[in-house]
């Protein structure tokens, strides 16, 4: 079992520029990653993107790569609401986009789980489970909001 990284991919029937916009525009980010309200984003390396998850708090993520329309990466401290992402408290989220005859393939890697230090009370109480349950609730609610209750699988995923 690889516990360090998550890797997924999706095919999108839209040009790469459209996917780039969906990925990086404040209003869209709020829809796919936040609670629906527009995120704030300073789209440059070293810039901060603030994701709002309502009652669960806000997540100031740190942008580490911007190469429109091909690459977008940031660090986020999912275990530490309110804290700016650093090397110690966060995972690295990397999106890469590539054009295909049908549109665009969007590739995602979230890595750094093995080196992640989570608050000790969470670890001690088997907090991964409870922590992720909280997250699942938020994401599920958001998914219903954005996409209805559609649960069809992705076109492709690894």
Residues that bind another protein (CB under 8 A): 1, 3, 6, 8-10, 12-15, 17-19, 21-23, 28, 31-33, 104, 106, 108, 110, 113-118, 123, 126, 128-129, 132, 135-136, 139-140, 142-143, 146-147, 150, 153-154, 157
> Which of 46, 128 has the CB closer to another protein?
128
Rounded CA separation 3/99 (Å)? 30
Rounded CA separation 15/12 (Å)? 8
**Inter-residue contact 51 to 44 (CB < 8 Å):** no
CB of 147 to another protein, least distance (A): 6
CB of 136 to another protein, least distance (A): 6
> Which of 100, 157 has the CB closer to another protein?
157
Give, in order, the Cα–Cα distances in Å from 51 to each of 28, 29, 100, 117, 125. Answer: 11, 8, 30, 21, 27
What is the sign of the dihedral through the CA atoms of 64, 69, 71 and 75? positive
CB of 113 to another protein, least distance (A): 5
CB of 3 to another protein, least distance (A): 6
> Which of 46, 55 has the CB closer to another protein?
55
């Amino acid at each position: 079992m690889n516990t360090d990284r998550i890797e997924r991919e999706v095919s999108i029937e839209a040009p790469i520029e459209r996917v780039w916009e969906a990925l990086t525009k404040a209003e869209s980010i709020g829809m796919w990653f936040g609670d629906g309200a527009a995120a704030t984003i300073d789209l440059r390396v070293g810039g901060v993107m603030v994701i709002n998850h309502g009652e669960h708090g806000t997540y100031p993520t740190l942008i580490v790569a911007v190469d429109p329309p091909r690459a977008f990466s940031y660090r986020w401290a999912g275990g530490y609401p309110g804290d700016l992402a650093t090397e110690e408290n966060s995972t690295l989220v990397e999106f890469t986009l590539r054009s295909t005859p049908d549109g665009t393939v969007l590739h995602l890697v979230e890595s750094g789980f093995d080196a992640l230090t989570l608050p000790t009370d969470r670890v001690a109480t088997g907090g991964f489970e409870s922590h992720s349950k909280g997250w699942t609730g938020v994401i599920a609610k958001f998914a219903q909001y954005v996409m209805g209750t559609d649960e069809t699988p992705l076109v492709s995923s690894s």
